[in-house]
Protein backbone atom coordinates (compact mmCIF):
# COMPACT_ATOMS: atom_id res chain seq x y z
CA UNK A 1 0.00 0.00 0.00
CA UNK A 2 1.20 3.47 -0.84
CA UNK A 3 2.55 5.49 2.09
CA UNK A 4 3.18 9.20 2.44
CA UNK A 5 6.73 9.86 3.58
CA UNK A 6 7.35 13.42 4.74
CA UNK A 7 10.92 14.56 5.39
CA UNK A 8 11.09 17.28 8.04
CA UNK A 9 14.51 18.87 7.70
CA UNK A 10 13.84 21.31 10.56
CA UNK A 11 16.65 23.92 10.82
CA UNK A 12 19.32 21.22 10.72
CA UNK A 13 21.07 22.38 7.54
CA UNK A 14 22.14 25.87 6.53
CA UNK A 15 21.39 27.17 3.04
CA UNK A 16 24.50 26.03 1.13
CA UNK A 17 24.43 22.53 2.61
CA UNK A 18 20.73 22.10 1.87
CA UNK A 19 21.17 23.31 -1.74
CA UNK A 20 24.04 20.84 -2.16
CA UNK A 21 21.80 18.04 -0.81
CA UNK A 22 19.07 18.96 -3.28
CA UNK A 23 21.51 19.23 -6.15
CA UNK A 24 23.64 16.13 -5.40
CA UNK A 25 21.47 13.69 -3.46
CA UNK A 26 17.87 14.48 -4.29
CA UNK A 27 17.84 13.02 -7.85
CA UNK A 28 18.80 9.56 -6.55
CA UNK A 29 16.38 9.72 -3.63
CA UNK A 30 13.70 10.77 -6.11
CA UNK A 31 14.42 7.74 -8.34
CA UNK A 32 14.00 5.46 -5.30
CA UNK A 33 10.68 7.12 -4.49
CA UNK A 34 9.51 7.03 -8.11
CA UNK A 35 10.30 3.31 -8.33
CA UNK A 36 8.27 2.67 -5.18
CA UNK A 37 4.52 2.95 -4.67
CA UNK A 38 5.14 5.67 -2.05
CA UNK A 39 4.87 9.44 -2.14
CA UNK A 40 7.83 11.48 -0.89
CA UNK A 41 7.50 15.10 0.24
CA UNK A 42 10.59 16.94 1.45
CA UNK A 43 10.11 19.98 3.70
CA UNK A 44 13.22 22.18 3.60
CA UNK A 45 13.45 25.61 5.21
CA UNK A 46 11.69 28.54 3.51
CA UNK A 47 15.08 29.69 2.20
CA UNK A 48 15.47 26.58 0.01
CA UNK A 49 11.86 26.15 -1.05
CA UNK A 50 12.00 28.31 -4.17
CA UNK A 51 15.15 26.51 -5.35
CA UNK A 52 13.38 23.17 -4.86
CA UNK A 53 10.09 24.15 -6.49
CA UNK A 54 11.85 25.81 -9.45
CA UNK A 55 14.39 23.06 -10.14
CA UNK A 56 12.12 20.10 -9.42
CA UNK A 57 8.74 21.57 -10.27
CA UNK A 58 7.16 18.22 -11.08
CA UNK A 59 7.65 16.99 -7.50
CA UNK A 60 5.72 17.80 -4.35
CA UNK A 61 7.38 20.02 -1.75
CA UNK A 62 6.37 21.02 1.73
CA UNK A 63 7.02 23.91 4.12
CA UNK A 64 7.60 23.53 7.86
CA UNK A 65 5.24 26.30 8.94
CA UNK A 66 3.12 29.20 7.70
CA UNK A 67 1.45 32.32 9.08
CA UNK A 68 -1.80 32.15 11.04
CA UNK A 69 -3.56 34.70 8.82
CA UNK A 70 -3.73 34.84 5.03
CA UNK A 71 -2.06 38.26 4.55
CA UNK A 72 -1.43 41.35 6.66
CA UNK A 73 0.97 43.20 8.96
CA UNK A 74 2.71 40.15 10.44
CA UNK A 75 6.46 40.75 10.45
CA UNK A 76 8.49 37.64 9.75
CA UNK A 77 5.53 35.42 8.86
CA UNK A 78 5.12 33.58 5.54
CA UNK A 79 1.69 33.50 3.95
CA UNK A 80 -0.09 30.35 2.80
CA UNK A 81 -0.94 32.29 -0.36
CA UNK A 82 2.77 32.83 -1.15
CA UNK A 83 3.47 29.15 -0.56
CA UNK A 84 0.66 28.17 -2.92
CA UNK A 85 1.96 30.55 -5.58
CA UNK A 86 5.40 28.94 -5.24
CA UNK A 87 3.93 25.50 -5.88
CA UNK A 88 4.08 24.15 -2.33
CA UNK A 89 1.56 21.35 -1.71
CA UNK A 90 2.03 20.52 1.97
CA UNK A 91 2.76 22.43 5.18
CA UNK A 92 3.68 20.93 8.54
CA UNK A 93 1.45 22.55 11.15
CA UNK A 94 1.61 22.40 14.92
CA UNK A 95 4.88 20.53 15.29
CA UNK A 96 5.64 20.05 18.99
CA UNK A 97 8.80 22.15 18.59
CA UNK A 98 6.55 25.06 17.52
CA UNK A 99 3.93 24.35 20.18
CA UNK A 100 6.78 24.62 22.68
CA UNK A 101 7.47 28.12 21.34
CA UNK A 102 3.92 29.12 22.20
CA UNK A 103 1.82 27.95 19.24
CA UNK A 104 -1.69 27.22 20.49
CA UNK A 105 -4.45 24.98 19.14
CA UNK A 106 -6.33 28.13 18.06
CA UNK A 107 -3.30 29.36 16.08
CA UNK A 108 -3.02 25.94 14.47
CA UNK A 109 -6.68 26.16 13.51
CA UNK A 110 -5.96 29.57 11.89
CA UNK A 111 -3.08 28.09 9.90
CA UNK A 112 -5.29 25.24 8.68
CA UNK A 113 -7.97 27.77 7.69
CA UNK A 114 -5.34 29.77 5.74
CA UNK A 115 -4.00 26.70 3.95
CA UNK A 116 -7.13 24.83 2.89
CA UNK A 117 -8.47 27.54 0.54
CA UNK A 118 -5.04 27.49 -1.17
CA UNK A 119 -5.38 23.74 -1.80
CA UNK A 120 -2.36 23.10 0.41
CA UNK A 121 -2.49 20.02 2.63
CA UNK A 122 -1.65 20.76 6.25
CA UNK A 123 0.21 17.93 7.96
CA UNK A 124 -1.15 18.45 11.44
CA UNK A 125 1.15 17.24 14.22
CA UNK A 126 -0.24 16.04 17.51
CA UNK A 127 1.35 14.21 20.42
CA UNK A 128 1.74 13.88 24.17
CA UNK A 129 4.72 14.24 26.50
CA UNK A 130 5.94 11.34 28.61
CA UNK A 131 4.19 12.83 31.67
CA UNK A 132 0.94 12.99 29.71
CA UNK A 133 1.23 9.39 28.52
CA UNK A 134 -1.45 8.09 30.94
CA UNK A 135 -3.88 10.85 29.94
CA UNK A 136 -2.99 10.92 26.25
CA UNK A 137 -6.66 10.80 25.22
CA UNK A 138 -7.41 14.12 26.90
CA UNK A 139 -4.32 15.77 25.38
CA UNK A 140 -4.90 14.46 21.87
CA UNK A 141 -8.61 15.28 22.01
CA UNK A 142 -7.82 18.98 22.60
CA UNK A 143 -5.38 18.96 19.68
CA UNK A 144 -7.84 17.15 17.42
CA UNK A 145 -11.03 19.04 18.16
CA UNK A 146 -9.80 22.20 16.37
CA UNK A 147 -9.61 20.21 13.13
CA UNK A 148 -13.26 19.28 12.96
CA UNK A 149 -14.70 22.63 11.84
CA UNK A 150 -12.17 23.67 9.15
CA UNK A 151 -12.00 20.22 7.59
CA UNK A 152 -15.76 19.66 7.66
CA UNK A 153 -16.24 23.05 5.96
CA UNK A 154 -13.60 22.28 3.33
CA UNK A 155 -14.95 18.75 2.83
CA UNK A 156 -11.44 17.30 2.76
CA UNK A 157 -9.68 14.62 4.81
CA UNK A 158 -6.85 15.69 7.13
CA UNK A 159 -3.34 14.28 7.29
CA UNK A 160 -2.55 13.88 10.98
CA UNK A 161 0.99 13.10 12.14
CA UNK A 162 1.00 11.41 15.53
CA UNK A 163 4.36 12.22 17.10
CA UNK A 164 4.73 11.27 20.76
CA UNK A 165 6.96 14.09 22.01
CA UNK A 166 9.07 11.63 24.00
CA UNK A 167 9.88 9.76 20.77
CA UNK A 168 11.14 12.78 18.82
CA UNK A 169 14.92 12.70 18.41
CA UNK A 170 15.24 10.28 21.34
CA UNK A 171 15.65 6.90 19.62
CA UNK A 172 12.63 5.73 21.63
CA UNK A 173 9.45 4.59 19.91
CA UNK A 174 6.11 3.22 21.09
CA UNK A 175 5.40 -0.50 20.97
CA UNK A 176 3.15 -1.65 18.13
CA UNK A 177 0.19 -2.23 20.47
CA UNK A 178 0.59 1.25 22.01
CA UNK A 179 0.71 2.86 18.57
CA UNK A 180 -2.28 0.86 17.38
CA UNK A 181 -4.29 1.98 20.41
CA UNK A 182 -3.50 5.67 19.77
CA UNK A 183 -4.13 5.46 16.00
CA UNK A 184 -7.52 3.85 16.73
CA UNK A 185 -8.32 6.64 19.17
CA UNK A 186 -7.37 9.34 16.62
CA UNK A 187 -9.55 7.66 14.00
CA UNK A 188 -12.42 7.36 16.49
CA UNK A 189 -12.34 11.08 17.43
CA UNK A 190 -12.08 12.20 13.78
CA UNK A 191 -14.19 9.40 12.26
CA UNK A 192 -16.26 11.72 10.08
CA UNK A 193 -13.14 13.27 8.56
CA UNK A 194 -11.58 9.94 7.52
CA UNK A 195 -8.01 11.11 8.23
CA UNK A 196 -4.72 9.65 7.05
CA UNK A 197 -2.55 9.03 10.11
CA UNK A 198 1.23 9.25 9.90
CA UNK A 199 3.68 8.29 12.63
CA UNK A 200 6.66 10.46 13.57
CA UNK A 201 9.40 10.14 16.18
CA UNK A 202 12.80 8.43 15.66
CA UNK A 203 11.70 6.80 12.41
CA UNK A 204 14.41 4.54 10.98
CA UNK A 205 14.13 1.83 8.31
CA UNK A 206 13.31 -0.91 10.86
CA UNK A 207 10.53 1.18 12.43
CA UNK A 208 9.15 2.06 8.99
CA UNK A 209 8.87 -1.64 8.22
CA UNK A 210 7.36 -2.61 11.59
CA UNK A 211 4.78 0.16 11.80
CA UNK A 212 3.71 -0.07 8.14
CA UNK A 213 0.53 -2.10 8.77
CA UNK A 214 -0.57 0.46 11.40
CA UNK A 215 -0.15 3.85 9.69
CA UNK A 216 -0.53 5.65 6.36
CA UNK A 217 3.00 7.03 6.35
CA UNK A 218 5.75 8.75 8.30
CA UNK A 219 7.05 12.14 9.31
CA UNK A 220 10.79 11.66 9.39
CA UNK A 221 13.18 14.07 11.11
CA UNK A 222 16.88 13.36 11.55
CA UNK A 223 16.99 10.21 9.40
CA UNK A 224 15.70 12.25 6.44
CA UNK A 225 18.89 14.31 6.39
CA UNK A 226 20.86 11.22 5.40
CA UNK A 227 20.04 10.32 1.78
CA UNK A 228 20.98 6.65 2.26
CA UNK A 229 18.75 6.29 5.33
CA UNK A 230 15.91 8.10 3.60
CA UNK A 231 16.15 5.72 0.64
CA UNK A 232 16.15 2.74 3.05
CA UNK A 233 13.05 4.11 4.78
CA UNK A 234 11.26 4.41 1.42
CA UNK A 235 12.27 0.83 0.56
CA UNK A 236 11.18 -0.46 3.99
CA UNK A 237 7.61 0.82 3.89
P1 LIG B 1 12.97 12.58 14.50
O2 LIG B 1 12.00 13.86 14.33
O3 LIG B 1 12.66 11.64 13.35
O4 LIG B 1 14.34 13.14 14.43
O5 LIG B 1 12.63 11.97 15.82
C6 LIG B 1 10.68 13.71 13.92
C7 LIG B 1 9.98 15.04 13.94
O8 LIG B 1 10.24 15.86 14.84
O9 LIG B 1 9.16 15.32 13.06
150: pLDDT confidence band, cut at 50, 70 and 90?
Answer: very high
Closest CA to 155 of 184, 114, 194: 194
- Give pTM, 2 decimals: 0.97
Angle at 89 between CA 84 and CA 92, to 5 degrees: 105
- In angstroms, what is the span from residue 75 Cα to ligand 1's centroid? 28
- Per-residue confidence (pLDDT) for residue 101, from 0 to 100: 96
Q: What is the average per-residue pLDDT within 189-193?
A: 96
Q: What is the pLDDT of residues 45-97, one digit of tens each?
A: 999 999 999 999 999 999 999 999 999 999 999 999 999 999 999 999 999 99
- Cβ of 202 closer than 6 Å to ligand 1, yes or no, is yes
Q: Phi first, then psi: what are they for 172, rounded to 5°?
A: -95, 145
222 CB under 6 A from ligand 1?
A: yes
Spacing, Cα 172 to ligand 1 middle (Å):
11
Residue pair 216/237 in contact (Cβ under 8 Å)? The answer is no
Q: Is the CB of 169 under 6 A from ligand 1?
A: yes
Query: CA 194 to CA 188: how far, in whole Å?
Result: 9
Amino acid sequence: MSKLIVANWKMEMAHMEAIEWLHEDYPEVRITADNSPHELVICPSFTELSYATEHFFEDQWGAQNCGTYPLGPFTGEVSAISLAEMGVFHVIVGHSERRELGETNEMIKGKIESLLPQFINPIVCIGETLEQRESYKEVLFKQLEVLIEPYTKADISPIIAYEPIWAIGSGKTPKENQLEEVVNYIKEVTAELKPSVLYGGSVMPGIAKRFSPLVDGYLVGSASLNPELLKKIILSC
